Amino acid sequence: MHRLTLAAPIVSLAFALGCSPANVTTADGEGGAAAACIDLAFARCVHLESCSPTTVQLHYGDVMTCESVFGASCLASIAAPSSGQTAASEEACAQAIADWNCGDYIDNQNPPPSCAQRTGMLANGASCAVAAQCQTGFCAIAPGQACGVCAAEPKPGDPCDQLITCGRMTLVCSAATSTCVAYAQEGGSCAPGQPCVSGFTCVGADTNTGAAGTCKPAAAHQDDPCSFTGAGCDLFSGLACNAATSQCGIAQVGGAGAACGLVADQNAPCASSGKCVAGACVAGQPVGAPCDLVAGPPCLALLRCIVTADGATAGTCQVASASGCM
């Protein structure tokens, strides 16, 4: 793997965003924003690959795509007006990522101090496109929208159906309840709407009765015993429970067009932030590609499906940009 091969794609994306390396260079980073974002993207994606190659597959497909998307996102945040994100801050984060605990990193929890959410100069109610512009470190953006407003961060239990994120690295939007929740820790209470931290599975929960379960370590080795509806296998270790054998097998992460859902007695997810539609994977799309918030295709992780027509769900995959949010 060679980080220099990513320089050209990330620099070209900088020009596409209207911020060439020349005009985003700052005094606090010798190589400027472009160099810092290349370093950050490399550090983030290589660490994710070392922690969980399966997670790289699930979100981006491969490391090169991961680096390209992270680099473009970094440049956009630095270039946003009033942003607290700088070349120096991202370079500092890049240097700290290798020491970020893998389980926490996968779940975006407990970041090193130099990777904490940056805060900007904009007060609540101001238009924003990225969190680093806001004094609170949170930009409330609805799905399909390019811009939002600076606001107080959501709290556990707050609705998130009209938000693309629950804020900093502590809460996640539960698809089951459409509310912001904290990950349940080992031994904690869990349910379909209350996920466990990575490396653990929810044992004993019953969707029919509403009974809660308990977060217990997931099986982490091939051929370990598992329960298809109970104590499962660690997907982040690349494993899935086989319903016929009750043993962990290699997870089948499918690319575009591959079978997904229940395949050969195992749950088969889609790669590249893909969506399972009628039993086949529809891959997440890159910058500039069409997307649909409801029917799919979705966008790759970190990209946004921006919809311009009122009441529509179809749009285009884009990097977050503050250029139209003044």
User: Which structural domain range is residue 140 located in?
Assistant: 3-152
Q: Give the pLDDT score at 283.
A: 93
Angle between helix 7-16 and helix 63-79 axes, rounded to 10 deg: 40
206 or 120: which leads in pLDDT: 120
Would 78 be classed as within a structural domain? yes
Would 91 be classed as within a structural domain? yes
Band of residue 31 on the pLDDT scale cut at 50, 70, 90: low
186 or 18: which leads in pLDDT: 186
Would 133 be classed as within a structural domain? yes
Q: Does 5 score more than 80 pLDDT?
A: no
pLDDT in tens, 118-176: 999 999 999 999 999 999 999 999 999 999 999 999 999 999 999 999 987 678 998 88
Question: What is the chain's length?
Answer: 326
Band of residue 204 on the pLDDT scale cut at 50, 70, 90: confident
Would 143 be classed as within a structural domain? yes
Would 246 be classed as within a structural domain? no
**Structural contact between residues 264 and 258, judged by C-beta atoms closer than 8 angstroms:** no
Q: Give the pLDDT score at 18.
A: 38
Would 171 be classed as within a structural domain? no
Would 119 be classed as within a structural domain? yes
> How many structural domains compose the chain?
1
CA dist 166 and 139 (Å) reads 10
CA dist 119 and 117 (Å) reads 7
Q: How far is CA 85 from CA 61, 74, 110, 154, in A?
A: 27, 9, 19, 21
Q: Give the pLDDT score at 12.
A: 44
Would 27 be classed as within a structural domain? yes
